[in-house]
Amino acid sequence: MAAFGAALTVVVAVGLGVLFTRWIGLALDSATLTPPERVPFLGGGQPEVHAWSRFHVRYYAMALLFLAFDMEMVFMYPWAVVFVEEGAVALAEMLMFIVILLLGILYAWREGALEWA
């Protein structure tokens, strides 16, 4: 538990440290900007709409495939720990599991879910 505490402390500390570099600069110069200085950069033109939009995330099919494999990762983590004890049986079982998922990748690839333009 002490280890996690230490890790958490480190995470928070480094996060604050990174923010600190930002604060040094802000402390040195914090005047306000005019509206033309705040226009998003598009090569000199004005934006017509806000960028926030219902963005068409075309790789959503690949994201679903990733979800499936992420669940497989969850199973592989404990499997890695007990693998040597369990022996060849463990190898065979995980192999079967993986082959089934690989068929999923094959299907996705053939259906064009991995490309989107």
Partner 1 sequence: MGLRRALARLAAAAEAPVFPVIGAGGRSVAGEIALLGGVRVVDSPRAANVLLVVGGITPGLLAPLLQVHDQLPTPRATVWWPGEPVEHQDLRTVLGEVVVARPGDGDTLRGVFAELVGGGRLSDPPALPDDEPAEWRGVGPYGQGGTGMTGGVPYGRPLAKRSPDPDGLELDQLPLRIGPMFPPLPPGLILDIALQGDVIREVAVGDNPFLGHPDGPAPAGLDTALFLEAARRPQPVATIELARARHHLRWAAGTLRLHGLASESLRVLRLARALRPEHALEVETLARRLRGRRSLSWATRGVGVVTPAQVGFGPVARAAGVAVDARLDDPAYDGIGFSPVVNDGGDARARLRQRLAEAAQALDLANRAGARVRQPGPALEGPRGPLSAGEALPSAALVDLLPRLLVGQEWGDAMTTVASLDLDLEEAAAGARAGAPA
Partner 2 sequence: MRWSSPLGAVVLVAGVLSAGAYVVAVLDVALGRLTAAGHLRLRHALRQPLDETALLLLTRPSRTERPDAQAWALAPALLGAMAAAAVATVPLGRGIAVADVADGIVLFGAAMAMVMVAVYLHGWSANSPMPLLGGYRFIALALSYEMPLALVLIAAALPAESLSVGAIVASQHDLWNVVRQPLGLPLYLIAGAGLAFWGPLDTADGPDLAGGTTAEVSGPSRVAWELARRFVLVAVAVMGAAVFLGGWQGPMLPGPAWMALKTLVLLAGLVWMAHRVARVRLERFVVVAWTVLIPLALVDVFVSGAIAL
Q: Which residues sit at the interface with partner 1, rule CB under 8 A?
A: 24, 28-29, 31, 34-37, 39, 41-58, 116-117
Options 31, 54, 96, 111; binder of partner 2; rule CB under 8 A: 31
Q: What's the sign of the alpha-carbon dihedral 102, 103, 109, 114?
A: negative
Helix, strand, or coil (residue 79): helix
Q: Could you say whether residue 107 binds partner 2 (CB under 8 A)? A: no
Contacts of 59 (CB under 8 A, 6+ apart): 116
CB of 61 to partner 1, least distance (A): 10
Identity of the amino acid at 48: E
Site for partner 2 in 47-106 (CB under 8 A): 47, 50-52, 55, 57, 59, 62-63, 65-66, 69-70, 73, 76-77, 80-85, 87-88, 90-91, 94-95, 98, 102, 105
CB of 115 to partner 1, least distance (A): 9
Cβ(77)–Cβ(84) below 8 Å: no
Rounded to 10°, the helix 88-110/60-86 angle is 170
CB of 31 to partner 1, least distance (A): 8
Quick one: what does residue 98 bind among partner 2, partner 1, none, with the CB cut-off 5 to 8 Å set by partner type?
Answer: partner 2
Cβ(113)–Cβ(61) below 8 Å: yes
